[in-house]
Structure 1
């Protein structure tokens, strides 16, 4: 059960409408009107950005469901406010709400580039591609002002370190000079998330993310710069967006995408009640049907967290969705996979005073 909406706050372009406590909190706060207070003065809820200095910036994982073993996320929380975001529950580790706090209380890691360089410079570091944007978007709106991702890219460029980027943020085009230079040497590829071509639905689901047409223009600009782009139909929502699979793949292919992937919607922990509430607010007539079809892919539950199942789903509903995706991908001429990124030139950048190489 979600708490009542805060009547003091005006919400503009937000995915969630509530601030439920995280699953680790021992108490829940509930507002009660005792009749003595005067009507509240409503204020617009704005985004608050704080900073932190972590000890390390590279996160390691051994999940069999993802194709990388290390990642960097310059931000905690994401102002894009995508209602379905599987990363929302991570705000609970900070004592914050996976609801409105996740999209309005952002933490920026200002020293990310310095920490990144220190870690890859350590003796014995074994180079392998680093994935950026695996949890929250490295090109969310605040990046245009802070430039943390830009600084990290400079480090990766200078050290000839391979990387991948997942985003839906238009600010990535600011960094085409660095990304294009790395792409020319086979050291980067970019994944662009594209969930719907319906601009109205996109505004509801992803209120502060670029419109679908803008994302297609991003794919075109990256492809024209020589960057290998993967279009990511993630998440795909049955009875809401799954009818667009073929159209999404066709539009992205026309824009220059070389590869494609798809993941059915996941609703871990606090995401499920937030998504249900969003459906009731924006699509009440189809809310029950959408949830029943999601549960048909998840063993009768809102979410199935098992390795090997969480990214694919199971049963006829999931099988049909994946079959449609595979057939459309093949018909449109997408490559099945991207070639491996080149890590052979990884080395410290030259510094002032270094001895020149003989050859």
Structure 2
């Protein structure tokens, strides 16, 4: 049986299937009834629902992450990157980490108001907030909803430090907010470039800007005085990792100041989705790629152990790490950015609150 959903045409999507999430009691499976419907299948279009969050800032205690809190204006991501480690989070919503993740999206328009309330709480202690660590805040629906921009206004007004990760060119719209924040040491941006090959990128990240467009983003942000990191992530063995040095060099030429890399991660439902994608688009090297990944994770497709999950272990992982270290040294890139300022923070004053007499 064909693994693709036979109810829709899925051109422009990365996931090959839409299997039920791991918490669902029942699975669904497309069945070929013998009728050829390729010519009249409707396009699988993006649908967006609204969610009103009771809280917005998410805290973590992961020792291998450089932040302890994050916010996400959206659930799901229309960029549709097949390798996205956030796909399993859609299972908590009763949706598939497959096609649902990139087509059944959730927007949170009240999030800026909730964020303002949480920053104003007396118990709140300032530290950099990360945005884009789960789903991209500058995915296409941000143009319609503007939630990320409103969140930035709240953070800027409070002089709160923020670290943003994105592939979305819509970030250029917000340079008018980001540039003044950068002048105060309150912002840095990471731009993820997985491959410089436009064809490969389109297959992996069907609705994200092309690689050359992301380099333009880096240049425009850098020209505005905003510190930018080139993120060569994720590196996929035998597919994108040969491009590591070229990606770093292109980022440097565009104006990036710092750099980082992460090896491909395959948690939960991501592993079968990536393997389906490899079988469809790169059957000649699928076995080699999976063999390398298992080699780096003790024979498993993924090891979630802290300090190992991001890069793996063993000779191959060590070789990529050494290549990265040599490349950034040669290019003059740094792996760590200067700390952002937390001393400028001023808690927001909520509507109706009594103002201080001091």
Q: TM-score range by the shorter chain?
A: over 0.9
TM-score between the two structures when normalised by the length of structure 2 = 0.95
What is the CA–CA distance in structure 2 between the aligned matches of 1:117 and 1:226, rounded to whole Å? 26
Deviation at residue 286 of structure 1 after TM alignment: 1.1
Deviation at residue 31 of structure 1 after TM alignment: 3.5
Deviation at residue 130 of structure 1 after TM alignment: 0.5
What is the CA–CA distance in structure 2 between the aligned matches of 1:135 and 1:252, rounded to whole Å? 23
- Kept in 2, the 8 Å contact 1:3–1:18? The answer is no
Q: Gaps (5+ residues) in structure 2?
A: none
Name the residue aligned to 1:167: 166
Residues 292-333 of structure 1 show CA distances to partners (whole Å, capped at 9, x for unaligned) of 111111111211111121012000010000000011011100
Name the residue aligned to 1:111: 110
Equivalent runs, 1:184-333 vs 2, <5 Å: 184-333=183-332
SS where residue 343 of structure 2 aligns? coil
- Kept in 2, the 8 Å contact 1:3–1:19? The answer is no
Name the residue aligned to 1:154: 153
SS where residue 43 of structure 1 aligns? coil
Deviation at residue 3 of structure 1 after TM alignment: 7.9
Deviation at residue 32 of structure 1 after TM alignment: 3.6
- Kept in 2, the 8 Å contact 1:15–1:82? The answer is yes
Equivalent runs, 1:138-153 vs 2, <5 Å: 138-153=137-152
TM-score between the two structures when normalised by the length of structure 1 = 0.95
Equivalent runs, 1:6-85 vs 2, <5 Å: 6-33=5-32, 41-85=40-84
Tell me the matched-pair count.
356
SS where residue 9 of structure 1 aligns? coil
Change (3 A) 1:12 1:33: closer
Deviation at residue 54 of structure 1 after TM alignment: 1.3
Change (3 A) 1:352 1:88: closer
Deviates more, 1:19-28 or 1:149-158: 19-28
Aligned Cα RMSD in Å? 2.0
What is the CA–CA distance in structure 2 between the aligned matches of 1:68 and 1:97, rounded to whole Å? 28
Q: Gaps (5+ residues) in structure 1?
A: none
